[in-house]
Amino acid sequence: MIYVIQNRDVILLDPLDDHYMESLQSSALDASFFHSSSWARVLSKAYGFDPVYMGRLDGEGLSGLFAVMDVRSAITGKRGVGLPFSDECPLLCTDRSLGIALLGEMISLGKKLGWRYLEWRGGEGYHSSAFPSMVYASHTIDLTLGERGLLKSFRDSTRRNIKKAQKEGIEVQVGRELESLLTFYRLQCLTRKRHGLPPQPWSFFEAFWEEVLEPEKGFLVVGTQGGKPVASAVFVICGKKAHYKYGASSDEALSTRANNLVMWEGIKECVKRGCTELSLGRTEFSNRGLLQFKRGWGGKESSIPYFRYDLKRDEFLASKAMERNPLNRIFSRLPVSLLKVTGAFLYRHMA
C-alpha cells in the first residue's frame, strides 16, 4: 500500500528492512524491543498487520519515530495501534515540536485509511487536549546493582520464595530452542485457561522464535520439578534493555514458588548478557496479586498511559474500567484444544 504524507520533515520508515534497525540503533532515541524490526516482523507474520512507521532523519540520524500497525478487521473495524500486543511503544522524538508533527501526520493518514481511532502506548500525548484512556503500572529493575545488590533489593518474602523453590527441588534451565518454546506454550495454554482467556495462536510463537529467539534476541527460562515442566518465562533484549514478556505455570508451581526461581534466573541471565535494566511489563492496578509479585523485585514503579484518539470526532477517548468479562468464566471451562482454536481466530481482531 502507498501512503502519502504532507510534512516534508516526516518520512515513512520500513521496519521490515534491515537498514531501519541500523538507523534506530545509531540514534539517540530511547527505543525498546517493541520499536525493533524483530517485533514488527513477528506482528506482520503472525497477524498480517501492515506497518505504518513515521520518523525524521536529520544529520545526526533518526530523531523521531512513531511506530503504528494498520489493523483491519471485519469484526472490530479499522484502526491504527502502536503497537498491538505491546506493553508500551511510545512515540519517540528529540523535541516536542517533532512529536506534535508526527502525531498530526499520523492522524491525517489514519483518516485517509479509514481508521476509527489511533492508539499509542506510553510516553506523552503530544496534543493540547490529550489525556490517557487507560493507565497501567510499570516496574523497572536496575540491573547495574549486580546479583548481590539485586538480592538485597528484593522483599524478604521474594527471597524466601526463591529459597523455597530451591528446597522443593525446582531445577531451572535457560535456552532459546524451539523445544523449550513448545514447553512454554503448553504451560501458557494452561495459564490462559486458568485466567479465562484463549492462548495466543502457535503461529505467533513460531514467528516469535524465528525473529527473536533463534537469532538470540531473547531467551526462555524453564523450571522443572522431577523432570516435569511447572513454570516458564520469556525475556526479550534490545541493546542494554531487557523486557519480561511472558510468564506461564502449572497449578503445581503456585505452591512450590517455582515462578520466583524462574524469574530470578531470568534476571541473572539478563545481567550476564550485559543488560542494564529489566522492564517487568505492564500491570493493571486492579490486579493486586500480580502487582504484589512484581513489587517484590525491588524495581522502580511508574505509570504507562495509553492514549486513544477518535479520528471521526477529533477527540481523545476514555476507556471504561476493566471488568471481568462474562466470557472469562466460559473460557475457563473449555478444553485447551478448543481454546487454541478460539485464540487462533480471535487474536488478530483483538489488537
- Domain presence at residue 148: yes
Does residue 327 surpass a pLDDT of 90?
A: no
pLDDT in tens, 31-71: 999 999 999 999 999 999 999 999 998 877 899 999 999 99
CB 280 within 8 A of CB 297: yes
Q: Which H/E stretch holds residue 21?
A: helix 18-25
- Domain presence at residue 335: no
| Amino acid identity for residue 297 in this structure | W
Query: 124 and 221 share a domain?
Result: no
Print the domain residue range for 295: 137-303
DSSP β-ladder status, 300-310 and 170-175:
unpaired
pLDDT, mean of residues 225-254 = 96
CATH number assigned to the domain comprising residue 237: 3.40.630.30
- Domain presence at residue 310: no
Q: Output phi, psi for 67, to 5 deg.
A: -95, 120
Query: 173 and 271 share a domain?
Result: yes
Query: 176 and 110 share a domain?
Result: no
CB 63 within 8 A of CB 56: yes
d(CA 144, CA 151): 12
Q: Which of 115, 130, 145 delimits the end of a domain?
A: 130
Full DSSP string of 156-219 = HHHHHHHHHHHHTTEEEEEE--HHHHHHHHHHHHHHHHHTT-PPPPHHHHHHHIIIIITTTSEE
What does the DSSP 8-state code read for residue 276? S
pLDDT in tens, 140-174: 999 999 999 999 999 999 999 999 999 999 999 99
Does residue 325 surpass a pLDDT of 90?
A: no
CB 208 within 8 A of CB 42: yes
pLDDT in tens, 258-275: 999 999 999 999 999 999
d(CA 144, CA 128): 38
Q: How many domains does the chain fold into?
A: 2
- Domain presence at residue 19: yes
- Domain presence at residue 331: no
Query: 55 and 154 share a domain?
Result: no
Query: 160 and 290 share a domain?
Result: yes
Q: Which of 130, 160, 189 delimits the end of a domain?
A: 130
Query: 25 and 120 share a domain?
Result: yes
Does residue 8 surpass a pLDDT of 80?
A: no
- Domain presence at residue 328: no
pLDDT in tens, 186-214: 999 999 999 999 999 999 999 999 999 99
Query: 108 and 160 share a domain?
Result: no
d(CA 91, CA 103): 8
Query: 268 and 175 share a domain?
Result: yes
Query: 64 and 110 share a domain?
Result: yes
- Domain presence at residue 318: no
Query: 107 and 150 share a domain?
Result: no
pTM beyond 0.75: the answer is yes
Query: 151 and 95 share a domain?
Result: no
Query: 88 and 219 share a domain?
Result: no
- Domain presence at residue 348: no
345's CB contacts (< 8 A; 6+ apart) are none
Q: Which of 130, 149, 168 delimits the end of a domain?
A: 130
